[in-house]
Amino acid sequence: MQPVICVEQLTKVYDEVVAVDNISFTIGRGHCFGLLGPNGAGKTTTIEIMEGIIAPSRGQVHYRGLTNGRDISHQIGIQFQHTALQDYLTVKETLELFAAFYHQTLPLEQLVVLCDLQEFLHRDNRLLSGGQRQRLLLALALINDPAIVFLDEPTTGLDPQARRHFWQLLKNIKREDKTLVLTTHYMDEAEQLCDEIVVMDHGGIIEAGTPQQLLSKHFDEVFIYLPREQISRALAEQHHWRLLADRVEITSKNVEQTLALLIANRVSLEGLHVKSANLDDLFLKLTGHCLRA
Ligand SMILES: Nc1ncnc2c1ncn2[C@@H]1O[C@H](COP(=O)(O)OP(=O)(O)OP(=O)(O)O)[C@@H](O)[C@H]1O
């Protein structure tokens, strides 16, 4: 891995709150790096220090010889969660306006293709759907052809189809040798996009690695589900299986053995569903609460 950003012993203390508590990590060039954690974990503070928006109390962020975000603005792009777009301007006019702020920009035609803006290029900003608006904001983050793009919960509020479309665009952008730094509340998004993730809680790092590394480190079992009415309460309690509202959850280290046990107990296997642990399960295990809770 060729490191592009090195965060070293970063700390941010507000009056009475340690928002970020001595964290260190490295982001590889061309990777998608995900910063995850529950509300108040310290993600935004960390990202804003990396972006040079706020100064750390202690520690450093190194980027190509630049420290703590100084003079970094022309090398990065930021997609903020809430950016006010100028009313009465079209998408094309908005791109042209933002392009005028920079010496060096990506050709607009390239941006339009990269962010899939063709269909609504001449539409007034006020008339854009949520997904179209996010694609325009992505284009604005890319306008100066940055090496690193920061994305703050880019798909919050989008419908499943628009989210998937957005993910595809981010995958294409990654192929252009850009490094993506993403915060998200959606574990499926992190699983789809991120090469490395860091999970924060209470200002510190509680886990770091690739999604696959973390899943295999924390889980050596799969979840088996069966409709509730097919398993007696006595059998479930005997084996400590979880009784959910409409199904039973069986945690199994050996699927074959569990199936044999079910068959031996004359349990019907109709509607059986097997699921490997995903980042949602990992998050729950690490932080004790769901991201959206
Ligand atoms: N300017 C500030 N002054 C005082 N405390 C702050 C300030 N900014 C953040 N904090 C506190 O620092 C902690 C970390 O906040 P931060 O916004 O970085 O968390 P987060 O992980 O981004 O949360 P969310 O997912 O809700 O955006 C919180 O306890 C927050 O209240």
Q: Compute, in angstroms, the gap from residue 152 CA to the centroid of ligand 1.
A: 14
pLDDT at 60 over 90: yes
Tens digit of each residue's pLDDT (9 = 90 or more) over 249-280: 999 999 999 999 999 999 999 999 999 988 88
- Going by the DSSP 8-state scheme, the letter that residue 31 receives in this structure is -
Tens digit of each residue's pLDDT (9 = 90 or more) over 143-193: 999 999 999 999 988 899 999 999 999 999 999 989 999 998 888 899 999
Q: What is the pTM of this model?
A: 0.85
Q: Which residues, judged by CB distance below 6 Å to any ligand atom, belong to the binding site of ligand 1?
A: 14, 17, 19, 37, 39-45
3-class secondary structure for 200-251?
EECCEEEEEECHHHHHHHHCCCEEEEEEHHHCCHHHHHHCCCEECCCEEEEE
pLDDT at 109 over 90: yes
Supply 142's token pair: 């890319």
Domain boundaries, the chain: 3-216, 220-276
Query: Which residues, including other chains, have CB under 8 Å from residue 101's CB and lie 6 or more apart?
Result: none
Q: Compute, in angstroms, the gap from residue 10 CA to the centroid of ligand 1.
A: 15
Q: Compute, in angstroms, the gap from residue 245 CA to the centroid of ligand 1.
A: 36
pLDDT at 91 over 60: yes
Which amino acid makes up residue 128? Answer: L
Atom 7 in ligand 1: residue holding the nearest Cα: 14
What CATH number labels 3-216?
3.40.50.300
pLDDT computed for residue 293 by the predictor = 41
pLDDT computed for residue 1 by the predictor = 78
Atom 24 in ligand 1: residue holding the nearest Cα: 39
Atom 28 in ligand 1: residue holding the nearest Cα: 40
Sign of CA dihedral 272, 277, 279, 282: positive
What atom of ligand 1 comes closest to residue 42's alpha carbon? 18
Q: Compute, in angstroms, the gap from residue 125 CA to the centroid of ligand 1.
A: 31
pLDDT at 283 over 90: no
pLDDT computed for residue 63 by the predictor = 87
Supply 115's token pair: 């962010």
3-class state of residue 187 by DSSP: helix
ipTM summary value = 0.97
Query: For 91-109, b where at least 16 C-beta lie within 10 A, e where not — what string?
Result: beebbeebbeeeeebbebe
